[in-house]
Amino acid sequence: MTTTTARPRSAGTTLRPHAVPAQAHRTARVAAVALAALTALSVPATALLDSADRPGPRLLAGAAFVTVAALEVVVGWGLYVLLRERAHSPAYAALVSRGGYAVLLTAAAGRLLWPGGDGVDGFRSDWSLALVVLGVHLLVTAIALWCARRVPGAVVAGTAVAGAASLLAALGGGLPLPDVLPGAGALLPAALGEIVLLAWLVMVGWDHAE
């Protein structure tokens, strides 16, 4: 009787383009929940800016944006953990840029929370700079996703397009964007990019969870 030893298949034949190690499922779920929460919270926070000439709505908006900034850090760390093994340098750059956006957003929110601050005008001015950094983050994240080689091409392309559009909208207002919420038109491309990332995180965190 002869015995044969099965040769292990290479990782390249067993992993799908968007697959990640099993231990990363939980990280993807945490990042997805944080991204969904900050996206949902940004809508009422932005709407509150319309009535932020009064102390109550102004403080609520400021607190909401500080919360969004904290959630941004959670999302940035989650993306870094998911991508660092196969795309360490761009994943780290994506983490730093998302952290930079969180810092700038917190500083902008301080204009709403600090007594005697510049209020909504000051917030919008600082937020415009923060959105430039968010656009850079989306572009860098697209590079990290591409280098990882395990992410669907549609996610990479969608993130890159959203990042480029976000930069154009924030820097020059060169895009005819609908102002869904007053003064938040420049946020629309970035929000679409976040939705693309959210879809990928959900796919990683739940679709193939063991």
pLDDT at 133: 92
| Short-list 21, 14, 162, 153, CA closest to 86 | 21
Query: Residues 52, 112: contact at Cβ < 8 Å?
Result: yes
pLDDT at 184: 57
| 162 CA to centre of own chain | 11
pLDDT digits over 35-78, tens only? 999 988 988 888 888 887 788 888 999 999 999 999 999 999 99
pLDDT at 43: 82
Q: Which amino acid appears at position 60 of this protein?
A: L
| Short-list 1, 18, 25, CA closest to 209 | 25
The three-state secondary structure class of 203 is helix
What predicted TM-score, i.e. pTM, was given to this entire model? Answer: 0.80
More confident residue, 131 or 20: 131
Phi/psi at 195 (5° precision)? -65, -40
pLDDT digits over 77-135, tens only? 999 999 998 899 999 999 999 999 999 999 999 988 887 667 788 888 888 888 889 99
pLDDT digits over 155-188, tens only? 999 999 988 888 887 776 544 444 555 555 567 7
Q: For the chain, which residues make up each domain, given as ranges?
A: 21-207
pLDDT at 190: 80
